[in-house]
Amino acid sequence: MRPVVLCFSGLDPSGGAGLQADIETIASLGSHAAVVCTALTVQDSNRVYSFIPVDSTLLKAQARAVLADLPVTAIKIGMLGSVANVQVLGRLLANYPDLPVVLDPVLAANSGGILAGEQMMEALLNLLPRATLLTPNTVEARRLSRVDDLNEAVHILRARGSRHILLKGGHEPGEQICNRLYNEHGVVRESHWPRLPGEYHGSGCTLAAAIACLLAQGQSLRQAVELAEDYVATVLSRADRPRDSGQFLPVRIKP
Ligand code: PLP
């Protein structure tokens, strides 16, 4: 069977982010996505209006059924919806210490809509020791670490247990976007991307899902990040949008 990536994400009915981003990304990169729904969101391509988390016992049951049945080789974690869901997932992952985990600490949508409240911060920090790779943008890195300086933020997040960190620079000013991959020795890879005009919905989900998928296929972490960043650049370059003023939705599967 194709490598299986187990994804924990919310449902975004606009189809730009969350579960649909995971499924489309992983399918188009040649693997199979098994998806555990963590929350139902109400949103369009522009705004998050509200969400309700899935009950944590249901999350546990969904995950256990899949893990008992499918040959899962990597895990991708996105929006989790509630502290109870983070805690259940933490306990579950303790039983699978060898599976690579890509943790996208989703705190807000690109539009700014809040997807994780204050009480989620500590819960997410407790999950970091299980993260092979944490993929915060700079806003998330600052909020999670509670410091403004990004080097210090990375240091704090690494000290909380995340083995590698991919710090995404899209929210910083400038014509170029800089992403930095860190391990325990510091920056091991830096990539620069021209800033595309407009706002994009689901770019972070797409990147984390692509990295998890490539890890599931046996790529090294560096190679997975490199190939996944190229994939994201491609799907964003052909993104379309429902309204002139709206956010772009990545085109992950070529028509
Ligand atoms: N997960 C869900 C369910 C979402 O609805 C969103 C944003 O709307 C995200 C994750 C984060 O999206 P992005 O990849 O744009 O950061």
For residue 244, is it within any domain? no
Q: Residue 109 sits in a domain of what CATH number? A: 3.40.1190.20
pLDDT of residue 227: 98
Q: Are 248 and 240 in contact (CB under 8 A)?
A: yes
Report the nearest atom of ligand 1 relative to the CA of 10: 3
Choosing from 40, 42, 82, 106 the residue with most ligand 1 atoms within 8 A of its CB, the one to mutate for a pocket test is 106
| Among candidate residues 62, 7, 69, 13, the one with its CA nearest the CA of residue 211 | 7
For residue 184, is it within any domain? yes
3-state DSSP assignment of residue 55: coil
In which band, very low, low, confident or very high, does the pLDDT at 116 lie, cut at 50, 70 and 90? Answer: confident
For residue 84, is it within any domain? yes
For the chain, counts of helices (H) and of strands (E): 8, 9
Q: What pLDDT digit, counting tens, does each position of 82-94 carry?
A: 999 999 999 999 9
Q: Which residue has the higher pLDDT, 53 or 110?
A: 53
For residue 254, is it within any domain? no
pLDDT of residue 115: 81
- Mean of the pLDDT values across residues 56-81? 98
- Give percent above pLDDT 90 in the chain: 91
- Mean of the pLDDT values across residues 118-130? 93
3-state DSSP assignment of residue 201: coil
Contacts of 108 (CB under 8 A, 6+ apart): 114, 115, 116, 139, 140
Q: Are 200 and 239 in contact (CB under 8 A)?
A: yes
Total residues belonging to the chain? 255
For residue 216, is it within any domain? yes
- Mean of the pLDDT values across residues 55-64? 98
Provide the residue range defining the domain that includes 197. 4-237
- Mean of the pLDDT values across residues 7-35? 98
Eight-state DSSP code of residue 129: G
Number of domains observed in the structure of the chain: 1
Residue 110 has pLDDT above 80, yes or no: no
For residue 169, is it within any domain? yes
Residue 111 has pLDDT above 80, yes or no: no
Distance between CA 174 and CA 26 in Å, rounded? 31
Binding site membership of 18 for ligand 1 (Cβ less than 6 Å): yes
Q: What is the CA(106)–ligand 1 centre distance, in A?
A: 7
For residue 251, is it within any domain? no
Binding site membership of 79 for ligand 1 (Cβ less than 6 Å): yes
Q: What pLDDT digit, counting tens, does each position of 142-199 carry?
A: 999 999 999 999 999 999 999 999 999 999 999 999 999 999 999 999 999 999 999 9
Residue 112 has pLDDT above 80, yes or no: no
For residue 229, is it within any domain? yes
